[in-house]
Amino acid sequence: MFKRIYSILLKELNSYFYSSIAYVFLLLFILIPNVLFFYFFGGIFGEDNATMRTYFGMLPYVFIIFIPGLTMGAWAKEKNTGTLELLLTLPVRQSEILFGKFIASLIVVIIALTCSLFIPLMTYFFLGDFDKGQLLTQYFGAILMACTYISISFFLSSLTMELINSFFLTASFLLLLTLAGYLSMFMKFYVWLEWLQKVLSYIGLQTHFANFSKGVIDSRDLAYYVGTTAIFIYLNIRTLEIKRWS
């Protein structure tokens, strides 16, 4: 089983790095958050202490565009080139194909996060002493959040099986979940609508990242990201199976 997942993972990484997708993704991912961080949010000079909270605070919004851009071809490209038929007639489980693809996308995101952190981290190394525990928590939270975004993107890509549709559908859905969280944080709700505020707060993608970005690991946030990822991975496997029967 692991050999099959590993083979799919290598094939996916090959595909990302042979084409320009991974490089464009990495370049934009390094440039855009850093430009925003340094020029629009004040960067390191806007903070009183050595923290990257502002930087990590941008990630839920940055991911709305970047993750669908990276993963829109996950199923659509396989379907368009006919290689989905090749994969599904090989002795490999749909879940193994999915995990291989999922891990490959996550690796690209982790590389992007690592490269992207390089500039602010270097600056902090020279200018101040930062809290390593907080940074690790932020990093851990960002990876967990990326897992959720990737699983949602994969599921929606498997529904449409079309590149552009997949991108817009996923970006819109992620935006909707983010807006839900945004509303819960910044809108005032009547007392009788407090349940709605709780629901919006719970489904909001970025609300669960707020604690991680402060350096706090809350089991509810952990459960949200792990649970949501698991649900969308399961739905993705079911979608592939249903398509085989339809």
Q: Which residue in the set 2, 48, 82, 129 belongs to the binding site for another protein (CB under 8 A)? A: 82
b/e code 187-225 from CB counts within 10 Å (16+ = b):
eeeeeeeeeebeebeebbbbbbbbbbbbbeeeeebbebb
> How many whole angstroms separate alpha carbon 6 and alpha carbon 136?
27
Within 128-193, residue ranges assigned H as helices are 132-160, 163-186
Nearer to another protein, 17 or 234 (CB): 17
Scanning the structure block, which residue is given the tokens 């020279």?
126
The whole-angstrom separation of Cα 38 and Cα 155 is 35
Site string for another protein, 62-81 (x = CB under 8 A): -------------------x
Q: Which positions from 20 to 39 touch another protein by CB under 8 A, shown as an x/- string?
A: --------------------
- Of 118, 142, 124, give the one whose Cα is nearest residue 56: 142
Whose structure tokens read 């270097």? 122
Interface with another protein includes 133 (CB under 8 A)?
no
85 lies in the site for another protein, by CB under 8 A: yes
Chain length of the chain: 246
- Phi and psi angles of residue 41, each rounded to the nearest 5 degrees, phi first: -110, 10
d(CA 205, CA 210): 10
- Nearest residue (CB) to another protein, 82 versus 133: 82
Nearer to another protein, 84 or 109 (CB): 84
Does position 194 interact with another protein (CB under 8 A)? The reply is no
| CB nearer to another protein: pick between 77 and 208 | 77
Binding mask 86-125 toward another protein (x if CB under 8 A, else -) reads x-xxxxxx--------------------------------
Q: How far is the CB of 9 from another protein (least distance, A)?
A: 11
Q: How far is CA 104 from CA 11, 91, 161, in A?
A: 9, 20, 19
- Amino acid identity of 38? F
**Number of shown-chain residues binding another protein (CB under 8 A):** 25
Asked whether position 15 contacts another protein by CB under 8 A, the answer is: yes
Binding site for another protein (CB under 8 A): 3-4, 6-8, 10-11, 14-15, 18-19, 81-83, 85-86, 88-93, 244-246
